[in-house]
Amino acid sequence: MSDPAAGPLGFLRKENIVAPDGYNRWRVPPASIAIHLCIGSVYAWSVFNPSLTRELGVVASAAGDWSLSSVVWVFSVAIVVLGLTAAVGGKWLEEVGPRYVGVVAATLWGGGFLVGSGGIATHQLWLVYLGYGVLGGAGLGLGYVSPVSTLIRWFPDRRGMATGMAIMGFGGGAMIGAPLTQWLLSIYQQAPEFLGAEAAVALVTEGGRRFAETASGLVEVVVANAEQAAAFGGEEGVYVVGTGNTGASGAFLTLGIVYFVVMVFAAFQYRVPREGWKPEGWAPKPVASGMVTQNNVHIDQAIKTRQFWLLWIVLCFNVTAGIGVIGVAKTMINEIFGDLALVTAAFTGTYVLMISVFNMIGRFFWASASDFIGRKNTYHCFFILGTILYFTIPFFAASGGMAALIGFYIATMIIFTMYGGGFATIPAYLADIFGTMHVGGIHGRLLTAWSTAGVLGPFAITYLRNLSKESAIADLASRVDPAAFVEKFGAPLSQLNELVAANTVTIAKLMEIAPAGTVDPTSTLYNTTMYGMAALLVIAFFANLMVRPVAKKHHVEQTHGSAVPAE
């Protein structure tokens, strides 16, 4: 049987990247941070939302454009596949090493963007799901787990700090990805054909869609307000559907190439320590806390323990409470505080950037702090403080004004530090509970909690928001004058459902003809969701409270004999 280490890809395997004596271990973290910065750009997904929901209308959503909920689910699929791939890839990582896994991750993540670019250009949503969601998600999972066990072995003296470094870049990915994406969109975007001011163009409504009468016949159009048109250097009025370009396809193509090159280069910087290596002058200290074990649990035995599933709940609910908000962050702050002059496109773009900054800071800060206060106490902080902060968001949304915006901003940024901190602290928590022998593989399997959260979070926030939106539109429609409705939308109230489905009727447009004194319901669309997220954190608090040291019967000496090599 041939030796895999001597095969054509043998130079990627861990047997051939063992660091020599005297190797500086601080050369390894930059490689992991670089890879995580690339794959962490998934957190900038909400920057694409406006463009993807108006690919046909460009300046405004047309009837045939993708809905926000269908676009958000691309992000969800990527996170689901991330967790599932990590569950398998974590064990594979122990076999082949971080460089091999990193190169495969680069190919899948970069290639996923290229496939997604084709899907956007041809307006085939399934290709975006396949490329960014499935292939890209697999690249996310492999790239995510590639450095974890390696850095824990390089830094046995500071597990929390090591995992904080390993995962810090993922939280900061949007810090680079968001402005880079916005810049690329601005380069590739092109305004659609302009027909003139709304009053100067003969418009008709058929099946909820708007059409303009031109010399060559009816053409489908969208009516853009001044703000929508200004983003493309145009003016308020009527634009032809299917002309122009949001720039999303070109941005996808460019990002795919850049991320592939950077990730491959970083993967080649990975090295692993030799068997039995430890930092010079360091020796394990006597363990004062019963929550830190000196024993090991086999990867296949770990999932049979109560502790694994309690930690699964802890991670899942902590992630669910944050991931749905991250996916629609830009849309949410626009809907709640869009009436403030400060909340411009530049402001919301900066908000997405700051989410990434605080996500990244939280990963290093909380993981490092856990080395001193303990992993369990760190998660207690997340759940108690997080519950309080989620309850404050509806209050700020209802209050309105600059002070409420500042309060909302601060509350969400603290939430995102704890969201990121939860990811960075969990590998060290697992090493404390199950030992370091298979921590990479166990961590990969625990990330199925992330997959579940990738569905629960966006589903909760979009489903509850849609229910609130439908209720608000129905309530507003019942208040407006039927004649004013017909004049505004070119169709009677009886066609409300068709007009809403075609994006012709929105809350904002109904407010333009609503009676004086009518309260805009937009700021309340997320209240129920915030209360639900707080409830999840309460459940996670009690799950964390029940975590205890693993019983001796689960130790590897009891289940697999005294000499079990790492896989």
SS3 assignment for 410-456: HHHHHHHHHHHHHHHHHHHHHHHHHCCCCHHHHHHHHCHHHHHHHHH
Query: Residue 288 has what pLDDT?
Result: 42
Collect all residues with Cβ–Cβ distance below 8 Å to 516 and sequence separation of at least 6. Answer: none
pLDDT at 320 over 50: yes
Which SS3 state, helix, strand or coil, does residue 43 take? Answer: helix
**Each residue of 286-323: b (16+ CB within 10 Å) or e?**
eeeeebbbeebbbbebbbebebbebbbbbbbbbbbbbb
Per-residue pLDDT at 364: 87
For the chain, the average pLDDT equals 86
Q: What would the mean pLDDT of 501-520 be, rounded to a whole number?
A: 85
Higher pLDDT, 374 or 455: 374
Identify the weakest region by mean pLDDT among 195-199, 322-326, 446-450: 322-326
**Of 118-122, 155-159, 260-264, the least confident:** 155-159
What pLDDT is attached to residue 567? Answer: 41
pLDDT digits (tens, 9 = 90+) for 459-501: 777 787 788 888 889 889 888 888 899 888 888 888 888 888 8
Instruction: Report the C-alpha gap between 473 and 453 in whole angstroms.
Output: 29
Give the pLDDT score at 2.
58
Q: How confident is the model at residue 379 (pLDDT cuts 50, 70, 90)?
A: very high
Which of 55-91 are b and which e, b meaning 16 or more Cβ less than 10 Å from the residue's Cβ? Answer: bbbbbbbbbebbebbebbbbbbbbbbbbbbbbbbbbb
The mean pLDDT of 46-67, rounded to a whole number, is: 89
Residue that wins the pLDDT comparison between 234 and 328: 234
CA 412, CA 356: separation in Å to the nearest integer? 12
Name the pLDDT band for 328 (thresholds 50, 70, 90). Answer: low
Q: Which amino acid is it at 362?
A: G
Whether the per-residue pLDDT at 532 is higher than 60: the answer is yes
pLDDT at 454 over 80: no
Residue 279, helix vs strand vs coil: coil
The arithmetic mean of pLDDT across residues 50-62, rounded, is 90
Q: What is the pLDDT of residues 241-275, one digit of tens each?
A: 889 899 999 999 999 999 999 999 999 999 988 88
Residue 561 confidence (pLDDT): 66
Q: Which two tokens stand for residue 83?
A: 């967790």
Q: Stretch 425-431: mean pLDDT, rounded?
A: 90
The answer, yes or no, to whether residue 565 has pLDDT greater than 70, is no
The domain segmentation of the chain, as residue ranges, is 12-190+245-275+290-480+515-559
Pick the CATH number of 12-190+245-275+290-480+515-559 from 3.40.190.80, 1.20.1250.20, 1.20.1370.20, 1.10.150.650: 1.20.1250.20
C-alpha dist (Å) from residue 51 to 3, 95, 411: 50, 42, 28
pLDDT tens digits along 283-293: 766 544 456 77
Q: Look at the block and give the residue holding tokens 């082949």.
A: 96
294/185: higher pLDDT? 185
95-104, 261-270, 450-459: segment of lowest average pLDDT? 450-459
The confidence score (pLDDT) of residue 566 equals 45
pLDDT at 207: 82
Instruction: 286-294: list long-range contacts, CB under 8 Å, 24+ apart.
Output: 289/374, 290/549, 291/374, 291/375, 291/376, 291/432, 291/433, 291/547, 291/549, 292/432, 293/432, 293/433, 293/434, 293/435, 293/549, 293/550, 294/435
- Residue-wise pLDDT for 217-228, tens only, equals 889 888 888 888
Residues 6+ apart with CB under 8 A from 332: 325, 526
Q: pTM score, two decimals? A: 0.74
Read off the pLDDT of each residue in 156-173 and give the average, rounded to a whole number. 79
> Angle between the 527-545 and 306-327 helix axes, to the nearest 10 degrees?
160
DSSP code at position 135: I
